[in-house]
Amino acid sequence: MCIESTKGHEIDLDFDTSFQLISKTQHSSFSSQEFKNFLKDNQIQKLLLCGFLAEYCIKKTAIDALESGYEVVLLTELIATGDDVQYRKEEMLADLENKGATINNDLYNFA
C-alpha cells in the first residue's frame, strides 16, 4: 500500500487536474518542501486530514501542522489504521484532540 514500486503504491491518474498532487517520502506531509510552499503560497490555514496509517502518517502530519500554527480537522470516518486495530486510531485521535486538533465524525459537515 505505501511501499514505493508496488501495485498498491500506484495512484489513479484519472483525477481532477485542478488538484495539486504532491508526493511525500516520509510520514509527515510537512517533510515535503513542495507541500509547505503550496500551503504558504495559497494562504491555507486549515487542514482537513484523512488517510491511511492513522498512527504514523496522519498523526505525524497533524502534529507538524499544529506545531506550525495550522488549524487541523481530523475526518475520523476517512482515517484508518494499517492493521485495523481501532484502539490505536482512538488513542491517536484523543492525543491529537488534546494537542488542539478538531475531531469531526460528520462527513457531510466538515468545513
pLDDT in tens, 13-43: 666 777 777 888 899 999 999 999 999 999 9
pTM of the model: 0.81
Q: What is the DSSP letter of 21?
A: P
Asked, for residue 58, whether it belongs to a domain, the answer is yes
Q: How many CA atoms lie within 13 A of 46 on its CB side?
A: 7
Cβ(74)–Cβ(101) below 8 Å: yes
Say whether pLDDT at 86 is over 90.
Answer: no
What CATH number has the domain bearing residue 44?
3.40.50.850
Asked, for residue 4, whether it belongs to a domain, the answer is no
Three-class SS state of 80: coil
pLDDT tens-place string over residues 42-66: 999 999 999 888 888 899 999 999 9
Cβ(70)–Cβ(98) below 8 Å: no
Q: How many domains are there within the chain? A: 1
Q: What is the mean pLDDT of residues 87-109?
A: 90
Asked, for residue 80, whether it belongs to a domain, the answer is yes
pLDDT of residue 12: 60
Which residues lie closer than 8 Å to 37 by C-beta, 6 or more apart? none
- What is the rounded distance in angstroms from the CA atom of residue 28 to the CA atom of residue 16? 24
pLDDT of residue 23: 80
Asked, for residue 91, whether it belongs to a domain, the answer is yes
Task: Please list the residues that pair with 49 across neighbouring strands.
Answer: 74
Q: What is the mean pLDDT of residues 76-82?
A: 85
